[in-house]
Every structure is written in structure tokens, then in C-alpha cells.
Amino acid sequence: MPTTIEQIKRINEAGPFHADWQSLSQFSVPTWFKKAKFGIFTHWGLYTVPEYRNEWYSRNMYIQGYPEFDHHRATYGEQKNFGYKDFIPKFTAEAFDADDWLKLFKQAGAQYIFPVAEHHDGFQMYRSELSHYNAFEMGPKRDVLGELKQAATTAGLHFCTSNHRAEHWWFMSHGKEFDSDVHEPLKKGDFYWPAMPEPNNQDLFSKPYPTQEYLEDWLQRVVEIIDRYQPELLYFDWWVQHQAFKPYFQQMAAYYYNQGAKLGYPTGICYKYDGMAFGTGITDVERGGFSEAKPFYWQTDTAIANNSWSYTTSLEYKSINEILITLIDVVSKNGNLLLNVGPKPDGSFAKTDKEILAGIGKWLGINGEGIYGSEPWKIAREGKTNISEGMFQDTSKLKYGSSDIRYTANNGAVYAYVLNPQEQTEIVLKSFHEFDEKNEPVFHGVISQVEQLGVGKVDWRIAEQGMVVQIKPTPDQRPVGIKIVLE
């Protein structure tokens, strides 16, 4: 039986974590997470079946004038005859193999996985006693989340998951505006329930407020995931910062942290915007980052494509170098990269996705010693090119050059990553010049040797402009890693 609201509250009253921000501020970022640096996010569900535009198909197919609306009618017929629910029998996942997924992710160098357990559409990708609309009872008739948990354990990767149900309060509502299969009366347990009018989804006080019935159902669904799958991290999309969610979110967070304390595994919650009080979880920046290193640990989540989180036939893929530059930049500024890939409807991965993941893994196999387990150096970066701070900045396609460097520290060494070597055979690390503008030493240590990762020792010298290092260009002009060994 699902854990009841009364049981959740009783456990939280016993502690050690209670359902308030002051108590939840006892939270500490798991050590493994700060060492991992790189994880894989996956968006896979019913919304993948049409392979059209993006993962918001379930909402947009009911909005008259939207491309999804017209595409749906041309491809499947009118929404009253073929609605979103009718994709369920088509979602058979015949090629899904959790062990193959984890093999691919591990070869890419990922240290943790973050499959979406339930997206805004309300279809659960796991076994549930709270709704029949789940992958165990319908569609593939498999506990997708459970299989991925087992595969991650076998592969030695950390298992995490995300819940995006908060937005389901309004996500299917446009289907009520014309003759479709989204119609009243809707009651708890119905797939489309409650389909309330869509608000300004950035308004923290928008009405109608989610009801107690809806919020308690949201809470129980998350607790069911915690109880059954014991994820090491949870992630929530943006709408949980709505005022109505606050007491329920605090109950969930306390319950999760208490269960982790009870069972002996560290836990953490990744949140966007200000969905949690600062210091009670892990700050997450969607498709963006920070311009400078932060004293707190954080994560960015972004996708392998610029225009969708799920697989479609029109993906605008990022290059391997663009993703590697994002990873290096984030790590140098005290963060992790959570990279999303979208499986095809049958559960396999497209050729381009696999090639990109393989390229990342190959680079990390050579350069990972300055990434995994590293910390920001006293100087995070040099060079003129830098991301603008905030969300939704990673599609700007910044033009990095050979003077754009990012630094990390690990194993007693300093690592300098040249983001775009541009076929240069000699680069300058300005942070190692002898004196700054005040005529004071910038770096005043003893260097025993300098290495190019994957190549070996290289020639170097300290000059007026900085440390001049001889390097060998890499295939496809991948970022170059330089290890500065100190005595």
C-alpha cells in the first residue's frame, strides 16, 4: 500500500529532518555527487511516440493553431477520435534494454543517471499503486524505472530520478476548449485529471490554486518513488515553486532526507529557480550556468540537442566540442553537468546520440583526471569568451579560442583546459605569469613538470606574458588538457 499522508507526517515529526526550511538546511551535498561531475538525463515516454518537435507534444496537440495540433490531425485524425491517451498502445518499447543503456552511459564517462519517472503528461514510467496509467500496466508493461535502477547498480553508476508532475495540474487543459477526448467530468485517477486552466506558469500565486486532493496525490506519487526505488538524488522541474506546493514540498523533502538517514545513503534534491530555500538542496541551472566560480555546489542540466529534450526527427544536435566545453566550464566553476539524451520510441538510441556519447567518453578517458573529483582552482578561467550568467544561455554558440582557458585542481596538480586550441602548437597560460599589475606574484610555487594529457611531458617556460606551453593539436580540435605538476 502507498505511504499515507499521515504516515509521512508522523515520520517527519520524528526527524531528524522536519518539514520546514530551517530543519532542511541541515542538508549537505553528497560527497559522491561533488566528485562525479558528469551525469546522464533521459526524457522518454509517450511524448516520444509522435517524434515531433519536442516533449510538450501532449499539451501542444490540443492548442488550436500550434504545429502539433495540425500535425496530429493530419497524421492521426481529430483529437476526439485519437487523443494523447491513444499513444499508449503504440508505446511498446520493443528495443528497450536497460543494461545496454547503462553500457552506453558508462562508456560516455557518466557517473550517474537521471531518468524522468513522470513527465508533465502524467504517464508514469514505473510500477505504481496510485494510477493505472503507468508503464508497468500499460504500453510496454515493464517497470522501466526499476529496470534502470537495477542496471545502474550492476554498472556501478549512481541512480537518481526526476518527477515533473507538478505542471500536470494544467498541462492538458486546452483539450477542453474544443471537441476532444479531454472533457469533463474528470476525477482523480483519470489520465487527464485535473486539466485546469493554464495559468501564467511563472506566476507563483496563479489561480486556481492546486487543490489539496491534487497536492496530496503529488506528494504520495513522489514518496512512492522514494520508497520503491531509493534514488540517491531527486530532481524537480520549475512549477514546484508555486506557493501552493510549499508545505507539501517540505513534507516530501523531509521524508526523503529522513529515509536516506534511516537507510544509510546520502540524498539530495536538485531544484530550479528558488523552488527550495537556499542551502536545503542543490541549485540547478537549466541550459545555462554561472559566469564565475561559486562557493556553493551546483548543477546545470542541458540537452544533447538545442530544440528538444526528447527524441524527434528534427533534432538540432550540439557538437561534441560544444558539450565538452560546457562540461569543462561548469566543473571549473564548482558544478556538475547533467546531459540529457532522448531515446527513440522503441527504446533504442539514434546513431548521432551514440556517436556524441562515444566522443565524450573518449575525451574523458584521456582528460578525466582533471575533471572527476576535482575542485575549482583559485583562478577559474581566463580569456574573453564566457557564458552569460543565468538559464537558457547554452544555445548562444559562443566562439571560444585558444586563449580561453578553464582551470581545475586535483591530486596536488593544477589542470588547464584550452577550450578551443585552433590548431595552435603554443599556448599561453596568463595566470602563471610572474607578476600582476601590482607587481606581486600571481603564482609563486615550484613547478616540476608540465604534461599534455594523453601526450606526455611537454616543453614550457615562464615568460613575461605567462607560462608558454608547447602542445600537440588533438583530432577534431578537441579541448586540450594540460597538467601542471607541483613540487
Per-residue pLDDT, 445: 87
- Whether residue 435 has pLDDT greater than 80: no
Put simply, whether the predicted model's pTM sits higher than 0.85 gets the answer yes
- Whether residue 230 has pLDDT greater than 80: yes
* Cell 487543459 -> residue: 173
d(CA 262, CA 22): 20
- Whether residue 436 has pLDDT greater than 90: no
How does residue 314 score in pLDDT terms, banded at 50, 70 and 90? very high
- Whether residue 439 has pLDDT greater than 70: no
> What percentage of the chain reaches a pLDDT higher than 90?
93
Report residue 296 as a C-alpha cell.
556553493
Give the model confidence (pLDDT) of 451-469 as tens digits.
999 999 999 999 888 999 9
Give the model confidence (pLDDT) of 151-162 as tens digits.
999 999 999 999
Report residue 454 as a C-alpha cell.
594523453
d(CA 213, CA 207): 16
Domains of the chain in sequence order: 5-286 (3.20.20.80), 376-486 (2.60.40.1180)
Give the model confidence (pLDDT) of 175-203 as tens digits.
999 999 999 999 999 999 999 999 998 89
d(CA 328, CA 386): 12
Nearest to 416 by CA among 361, 446, 460: 460
**What value, to the nearest 5°, has the Cα angle with vertex 255 and ends 254 and 260?**
100
How does residue 123 score in pLDDT terms, banded at 50, 70 and 90? very high
Q: Compute the residue count for the chain.
A: 487
Nearest to 418 by CA among 482, 476, 331, 324: 482
